[in-house]
Amino acid sequence: MSTVQQLFDLTGKAAIVTGGATGLGFDMAVGLAEAGANIVICSRKLERCVEACERIEVLGRKALPLRCDVTDPEAVGAMVESTLSVFGQIDILVNNAGMAWVGSPETLALADWEKVLKLNVTGTFLCSQAVGRHMIQRQQGSIVNIASVQGLVGRDPDIVDSIAYSTTKGAVVNFTRDLAVKWAKYGIRVNALAPGFFVTPLNRKLFERRMKEITDVIPMRRVGQPGELKGAVAFLASEASSFVTGHILAVDGGALAW
């Protein structure tokens, strides 16, 4: 029987983190690297990927920066091929690339709605499909999708008014569950993290305006801190969760508990 340390050990594994150059994506990439994995960082801005990989390599891991638009099937295919050419395998995929768009249901432009759906839902599908084909051949792998508590409940528009984002994250939730059922026979586990409110460069101004309202609906009376997703993503990526699939793990300070 493996020890707890052995169960969480990702030494020799290769992990792709989409949108992993900044924010929560980078935090999760660091967590996987700290557990031993080699990392592929991809986003649409290559220079940010390069900077992120340089920081990860300080940990003693190999890191590959790749430019990739996850909504482009050809770019996603090239990302998978580049990863395999360098590491020879893909053990972990973290579908983190995504975006939000503030806009009420009655005023949101169709183009903005479609932009969010394309990145958050289609991008997650395309990456899972391309990486999944490789994982099916190997009969193993772990996919971790990044959902949100906003994909599980409605939100007061005075705090968060982004119906496109919440709709896409709800789609990611059931995509995770259904894909987990369909690919369980191949030894592939598919789970999702549902973060609560974490301050990022994208929502910092909102948090500064609505700090009291946001923290008042969180039992722990605070938002998520840097590094507080690392343990959760390492758990879902590793053998520590070998009998867990189709699960949505909320990391939200208890927001969904009331």
Q: Which amino acid is at 185?
A: K
Q: Is 112 exposed, middle or buried (0-12, 13-18, 19+ CB in 10 A)?
A: middle
Residues 255, 232: Cα–Cα separation, whole Å: 17
Order of strands across the sheet that contains 141-146: 63-67, 38-43, 14-18, 92-95, 141-146, 188-195, 248-251
Among 118, 101, 98, smallest CA distance to 43 is for 98
Mark residue 89 as left, alpha or beta (left: phi above 0; alpha: psi -120 to 50; beta: remaining). Answer: beta
54, 56, 194, 251 from 21: Cα distances, Å: 11, 10, 20, 21
Neighbours of 232 (CB within 10 A): 20
Q: Is 154 exposed, middle or buried (0-12, 13-18, 19+ CB in 10 A)?
A: exposed
Concerning whether 165 is annotated as a catalytic residue, the answer is: yes
Token output for 59 = 């940990």
CA dihedral 219, 94, 108, 170 (to 10 degrees): -60
Catalytic residue among 87, 101, 125, 165: 165
* C-alpha distance across the termini of the chain, in Å: 38
Active site residues: 165
